[in-house]
Amino acid sequence: MKIALFTDTFEDGYGGATVYVRNLANYLQNQGHDVKVFVWESQNLTEEDREICVTFPNINVVKSVRGKAGFSTIKILKKTKEFSPDLIHNHSQYSMGLQAIIVSKKMEIPIINHYHMYLEGVINHFPYILQKTPELTDVIIKKESKVFFTKSDLVVTPTKIMKEYLENIGVKSEIVNVPFGIDLNIFKKEKKYRPEKFTLLYVGRLNEEKNVEDLIHIFAEFAKDKDVVLKIIGDGVEKEKLEMLSRKLKVDEKIKFLGWVRREDLSKEYNSANMFVTLSEMETFGIVILEAMACGLPILGANALAIPELVKDAENGFLVDRMDKEYILDRLEQIYGNKDIEMKFSMNSVLLAEQFEEKRIFRKLEELYSDLICQKAIS
């Protein structure tokens, strides 16, 4: 099959959706399919990336998340015709996604639109006027999402809760839940990496919607009179502010800001911690949570959106209300003071993660591709 993947960014170290597209492209190539990634130009693309990418000029419209946009419909259509794909699998809900839909209609080829981003959770990155009118903005987002995803031959969501969300806002296209997957040969529990001190770990963007500020406040309380560490892996517009906060709360010696870590080194970092923590309430899946689980980490996560589909309360971690500081502190104390609970949660995390083996997940997508292509040929 010839598959065109449309996405806003393909550069490494950007986020879960980008990790997913990179892994999918690599898998499809290894299975013998012809793959091209249609993406906005970026100076951070490697030579290897450029062998598979077809890039287009753009502008940075949301600097806080390196959000790109552009309107090169004629050029995108020309390049797509040159590739002549059997199917488009689109991973953008922004301008690249809109052009993917236009191209699919012009070329009369099937399109899968993949739901990655819960837009209601990132209103803080929207234009100022939309931030100041959240109720109106919420209506606009739901209307746009309904129209956008209804223009699909098939919609794929990573979790059941997001499938229900799209159904509830009125999306008419068929919606299929296909979770993200990970390479369990890379992300696995390894005894050779053990933390010297009790270590909490956060991995992700350092932007407001991730609620890392709340996490640091809670850690400052938890760390009193304890020889503990919080490692923060990731980057974003809030990094400097968060570093200043850690100094203000006098826990800067216990918090390690590690920046972005290469994916091949992430497994070591997961294995060098005692627990993964996130208070983000806008996750449509949470691939870093799954990676942490595969490496045997108990999880403390916000009881919101898709996280409960990975974290089973009191089984492989704790689900918490991010506003309930005392409850979160109590759960951290339980892990800190009880190796038996930590071991139980660790084993269960590994077992739960085994359900998300990458090749098995991607084979499901291959089947969907084949079915859609056949249906289009018959119609």
Burial group, residue 227, by CB count within 10 angstroms (0-12, 13-18, 19+): exposed
Give the residue among 43, 16, 14 at the shortest CA–CA distance from 235: 14
- Both tokens of 72, joined, read 């090169």
Q: What angle do CA 269, 17, 322 make, to 5 degrees?
A: 65
pLDDT at res. 264? 81
Homologous superfamily (CATH) of 198-356 is Glycogen Phosphorylase B; (3.40.50.2000)
Contact 25, 34 (CB under 8 A): no
pLDDT for 271-287, tens place per residue? 999 999 999 999 989 89
The model carries a pTM of 0.90
pLDDT for 50-70, tens place per residue? 999 999 997 765 554 455 677
Residue range(s) in the chain whose domain bears CATH number 3.40.50.2000: 2-181+357-378, 198-356
pLDDT for 88-147, tens place per residue? 999 999 899 999 999 999 999 999 999 998 767 666 656 666 677 777 788 888 999 999
- In CATH, the number for domain 2-181+357-378 is 3.40.50.2000
